[in-house]
Structure 1
């Protein structure tokens, strides 16, 4: 994942999302030290304060924790929390969009469920 300076998403949010992606992909494990704001700033060629804001988001969401004098580390349940949050937010939103579109197209509940099941089988 790259940081897109021309994106409408603030850079600090992109930093937080990138770190979450690293956790989900198991490139950052529970209790492992994460990059410092200065390492992130150098890695992505951004202001350290901006990188710090991204780290703070994850700290506030309890996905990271601080060890005084040592830095920030991945929380034990960070991966599970990220996956749960994404399931709850992203999949719910997508499901709502699919249901609304199916209603607009006059697709019955049975047809929609059959389509979802067929798609699942095709992707296995």
Structure 2
């Protein structure tokens, strides 16, 4: 059960070396994106710390720090002598975390601003519906 040996994961990972998001967080986010997109399925091996570090010229300790975040979140696990593997239920855990973050980072702020400018829940629902129709 290895990861895609063709190396197609390389083209999907992108890092912003000039941005404000720390690289270790970008590593974790890129692996999460791969899991969400289906590039790394349940019980499949992900690229090693060394492979990612070498391919993108990132310090291996930085890559490992990002991977350790995913270990803590029970998204991946280290199998001694084998590498890092995606855990069962990882995709669902990522979706749950992102939905929670979306609510806290966007929905709560949206409601606070709507309240400040006098929009009712009905007004806000109508605006959201209009947004979906235009998307």
Q: Of the candidates 95, 104, 107, which is equivalent to residue 95 of structure 1?
A: 107
Q: Of the candidates 19, 44, 47, which is equivalent to residue 31 of structure 2?
A: 19
Q: Deviations over 1:68-98 (max 9, x none)?
A: 2101100111100000100011133211121
Q: Of the candidates 100, 104, 117, which is equivalent to residue 129 of structure 2?
A: 117
**So what's the TM-score if we normalise by structure 2?**
0.84
Taking only aligned residues, the RMSD between alpha carbons, in angstroms, comes to 1.4
Q: Deviations over 1:24-51 (max 9, x none)?
A: 0111100000111100101211111111
Question: What runs of 5+ residues in structure 1 fail to find an aligned partner?
Answer: none
Question: What runs of 5+ residues in structure 2 fail to find an aligned partner?
Answer: 1-12
1:4 Cα deviation after fit: 1.4
Map of 2:87 onto structure 1: 75
Map of 1:9 onto structure 2: 21
Q: Distance in 2 between matches of 1:24 and 1:91?
A: 19
Q: How many residues in Structure 1 have an aligned counterpart in Structure 2?
A: 123
